[in-house]
A and B are shown apart, each in its own frame.
Chain A
């Protein structure tokens, strides 16, 4: 596996973003992970197990599908990387499979996770059931309501879902609670973070586990198109893990445009938004320095998006770096634009995408590509969990 595509220093910095801003209670845990993660990832026994589970359990490789009618509509060549076809319905399981194998090697008995849309919670509950480990998932109370099907799935899988009751009761607050749990249970617990956020080494660890997405695109694209590289890769960004995975092997290929969609909620300047790159300033939250939506006093602003998975005031430090260095472009997409894109993909291709994913699809209306250009969109997840929201919208 080619992994060293992104320059990260010993302290976990991508340029000026990253690091490990954790209280002393977590020092030993974070240090243990920092010291071992590269070695574990490189271990052939780990790779064998990881690859075998991705193939036989998750169902990888996921198809790279030429979306004919969508392409005709936008007059370009659109390929969908079908992460929605992964077991559990989103890319999140690529990361949880890798991290559960890591947790086993560290001898951890108890697994905790945060979740927004519930996809990461389901993916964590799934691998815990698979390995017979205890699983506790923190989820904002609002998200428990708006992503009910995923709460039921987690319960079916034997996980305990704990509501987070602070702030807007969404992903940020669930992450606060997960970190508080971790620092209260430092010796027996592994925290499976669900995105490329958190203290070093999580952003790099999660990016490397999700890198399988772009690794497969690199193999599939020539078979289908005769072209080695796409002209553009697009993805949605909450914390940024599906985007990190889809971008990973293209970061050092300057001919490939990297384009991401962040959630604008009701609009970037509406005060009800999660457009971190558009509005954020450098700041520290959840263990790393990145862009952060905050007040002039350095208080975190409560975010808003219709999409629970993108409703987060920060973004992974890798994305802050890609944005600051202009290697990737980030565009805000509103709730309304995302919902339109959901209906469009459903009707044109027979694929109902997740609300998060729809933000990336909505960019097709914003960005004009040439007819012969190849655009790969990471279809990060399926929309089953969002059907209630979709039904309301269609009314």
Chain B
């Protein structure tokens, strides 16, 4: 069974996913950070595959991606770093990144590698739904990789349902239409958007991402939906060499 499905079969609330950039701050930190997050009680690991031109990312993830690429990070190396990861942990792992490096690697070769290693899902924000459905869906299914799509406050109910139908594992609710790394307390508008999503009674669990830096927003996400994703705030924490365990504890409040 896909580990995401396994997780959500028993966990309905307070799901915490943490994003970090592969190869950052040091080239070979990927595995260490993953295992520390697992030990600290993270539910889902989201590994960012660095790209030279990350259009949907704010300054923190842009900088971590740049640093990782400068360190020599690549998809080949990422797969190498994760080769035996399933001997150590059964935590669900999702890869997130931009479509170009994946296309250049070859989508089928990429999904096959993911299956060999035990990757559970993929988030490719600039892969359009139409391209996915027509060209890649069958490949993802063949290798048992869940495709996770984004919805935003601007996404109509009708389209949310379409994206939910295309997704498996979970649906990613972007809290506000912007790049990653935004901050500020979730407001009434966002709360009513979360409520709207919740009322749609979708097939997939929903995790809120973009804009969760501390426990307050994580709590609001949990109030309406299944949990949240934290990225930029975690990257800033590891850059300052803060304890991973302490970071997770404070998020969980």
List, in ascending order, chain A residues with CB within 8 A of B218's CB: none
Cα-based distance from A172 to B102 in the complex (angstroms) = 21
Binds A, one of B7-15, B31-39, B171-179: B171-179
List, in ascending order, chain B residues with CB within 8 A of A284's CB: 98-100, 103, 126
Cβ of A112 to closest chain B Cβ, rounded Å: 14
List, in ascending order, chain A residues with CB within 8 A of B154's CB: 25, 27-28, 186-187
Top 7 nearest A-B pairs (CB, nearest first) are A298-B104, A298-B101, A23-B125, A184-B178, A24-B150, A299-B52, A300-B52
Cα-based distance from A21 to B100 in the complex (angstroms) = 10
* Chain B residue with the shortest CB-CB distance to A292: B100
- Contact at A24–B52, with CB atoms within 8 Å? no
* Chain A residue with the shortest CB-CB distance to B58: A180
Cα-based distance from A184 to B181 in the complex (angstroms) = 12
User: B170 on the interface (CB 8 Å rule)?
Assistant: no
Cβ of B43 to closest chain A Cβ, rounded Å: 23
Report A's interface with B, CB cutoff 8 A: 11, 19-25, 27-28, 166-167, 172, 176, 179-180, 183-184, 186-187, 281-287, 292, 294, 296-300
User: B81 on the interface (CB 8 Å rule)?
Assistant: no
- Contact at B55–A179, with CB atoms within 8 Å? yes
- Contact at A297–B101, with CB atoms within 8 Å? yes
Cβ of A325 to closest chain B Cβ, rounded Å: 21
- Contact at A184–B52, with CB atoms within 8 Å? no
* Chain B residue with the shortest CB-CB distance to A166: B62
- Supply 7 further A-B pairs (C-beta < 8 A) apart from A22-B126, A285-B53: A20-B128, A21-B126, A24-B150, A25-B150, A25-B154, A25-B178, A298-B101
**Size band of the interface chain B makes with A:** 35 or more
List, in ascending order, chain A residues with CB within 8 A of B76's CB: 297
- Contact at B62–A298, with CB atoms within 8 Å? no
User: B163 on the interface (CB 8 Å rule)?
Assistant: yes
User: B51 on the interface (CB 8 Å rule)?
Assistant: yes
Report B's interface with A, CB cutoff 8 A: 51-53, 55-56, 58, 62, 66, 69, 74-76, 98-105, 125-128, 130-131, 149-152, 154-155, 159, 163, 174, 177-179
- Give the residue of A24, A183, A281 whose beta carbon is less than 8 angstroms from that of B163: A24
Cα-based distance from A172 to B54 in the complex (angstroms) = 12
- Give the residue of B102, B104, B152, B179 whose beta carbon is less than 8 angstroms from that of A180: B179
Cα-based distance from A50 to B154 in the complex (angstroms) = 31
14 contacts between A and B (CB under 8 A): A22-B126, A22-B128, A23-B56, A24-B151, A24-B163, A25-B177, A167-B53, A176-B55, A180-B55, A284-B99, A297-B104, A297-B105, A298-B100, A299-B101
- Contact at B126–A183, with CB atoms within 8 Å? no
Cα-based distance from A287 to B52 in the complex (angstroms) = 15
Cα-based distance from A246 to B76 in the complex (angstroms) = 43
- Contact at A19–B128, with CB atoms within 8 Å? yes
- Contact at B101–A183, with CB atoms within 8 Å? no
List, in ascending order, chain B residues with CB within 8 A of A286's CB: 53, 55
List, in ascending order, chain B residues with CB within 8 A of A294's CB: 100, 104
Cα-based distance from A287 to B74 in the complex (angstroms) = 22
List, in ascending order, chain B residues with CB within 8 A of A180's CB: 55-56, 58, 179
* Chain A residue with the shortest CB-CB distance to B74: A297
Cβ of A1 to closest chain B Cβ, rounded Å: 30
* Chain B residue with the shortest CB-CB distance to A11: B130
Cβ of A22 to closest chain B Cβ, rounded Å: 6
Q: Which of A20, A23, A176 has its CB near the most chain B CB atoms (within 10 A)?
A: A23
